[in-house]
Structure 1
């Protein structure tokens, strides 16, 4: 179980990327960096410490680690994330991180990374770790439009080879990110899927994985109130044990065949 820290980070960068996505880079203590693993996430207080509307923190995947900072991508959905866009460079921001207790396994020879929309930010740190360890992987990234492929800048900066898909054909191949998945996976040995994105996409990937008898690991995105397993607000069905488990505490990564996606 990773150590968790409640800290005051310093904002180094907070800027618009594309679509409805912003990039937030925060300087954090070395202890946070050392304990962050692929699929770790952070709970961010969008407002200054003396503001309490909205009251609760927001959960974001830790997309990357650079020197003494963590990188997060966030979409504007409501009051909290809208306020977060107003936070300025050098301001302090309250963070609880790194969070999560179950992460992507790294014991396979080959990986197929499948990300949809902002969900790709839940896979990017895994890509860096796999490259560092000399693992083979193929990355697929899909969204409705080119504007929603908001991590293209990060991908290009880090020189990753990624196959792009857009529903409207505005960039990459037209169609769903899953359309070539079966063909890509067939014939690969000791391979696993690593997935993060919209629920319909994850269901589609899980179905293909089951057909091909390939392990499939899902990094789940969920609305969270606490991020540490107390509020029971982010539960999903555990099919194996016929009970409910918490995304924030027992996850965020689960084997697809062991849970029920709603």
Structure 2
């Protein structure tokens, strides 16, 4: 069931770089699937600039609270930074119809920048199920590692390899540096990926070389979030058609998508 409600803001704070953490008390969303997302309205009822909601991955569920990590790029996300504890915010969620599969023995999770927030809840679900996985968290420089606190608070330090392009934290290099080794060292391995398009293309190049199953959680600008506006389509090469990220996705078989 999808809920369109106003929820109480419990926390809204700057983490690092341009990234903020928004914690909302939303008991109706406590069973939201890993990979689902929320459309958040940045303005109040009598304000219409900007008019559209903003899409954010449901990055974690803690009791009756959901956590959303968001980067500040434009007017809408800038307005969101002014939300204070106790404020009400309008949220449409959980959205999406296709999510990560759980039928593999081992997973290599690859998150680039804020894209790691599209994988974090999946990581928690895998751990709860006793599944084996290794996660990669890649950014350009240290100040963009906004989810390090979440990783430590949830006990994932030994499960996550951090890469920075400039070597300012963790391993120096791209997320693909050791990917060949990571996806071939265990049998029945699948990739779960979320991040910039260039990064996902590079990950898919490695996956195709080894014929490793790969599932991409796509990021896209959305107006509606539930398939009406047709504003977030990508090419499905298998069916020679277009699919909506918000409705047929947001997770797709990486071998089928051209982006």
**Considering the TM-score relative to the shorter chain, is it more than 0.5?**
yes
- Whether contact under 8 Å (2:29, 2:64) holds in the other structure is no
TM-score (norm 2): 0.98
Aligned equivalent of 2:56: 60
Q: Deviations over 1:91-121 (max 9, x none)?
A: 1100000000000000100000000000000
Give the C-alpha shift of residue 51 in structure 1: 1.4
Aligned equivalent of 1:122: 118
Task: Pick the aligned partner of 2:29 from 21, 29, 32.
Answer: 32
Q: Deviations over 1:26-48 (max 9, x none)?
A: 0113x3212x1111000000112
Aligned equivalent of 1:203: 201
Aligned equivalent of 1:109: 105
Aligned equivalent of 1:222: 220
Q: List alignment gaps of at least 5 residues for structure 1.
A: none
Number of residues paired by the alignment?
A: 257
Give the C-alpha shift of residue 234 in structure 1: 0.1
Q: Say whether 1:146 aligns with 2:142.
A: yes
Task: Pick the aligned partner of 1:47 from 43, 48, 55.
Answer: 43
Give the C-alpha shift of residue 187 in structure 1: 3.3
- Whether contact under 8 Å (1:141, 1:165) holds in the other structure is yes
Aligned equivalent of 1:175: 173
Task: Pick the aligned partner of 1:233 from 224, 231, 239.
Answer: 231
Deviates more, 1:120-129 or 1:183-192: 183-192
- Whether contact under 8 Å (2:11, 2:21) holds in the other structure is yes
Give the C-alpha shift of residue 178 in structure 1: 1.0
TM-score (norm 1): 0.97
Distance 1:141 1:112 in 2: 11
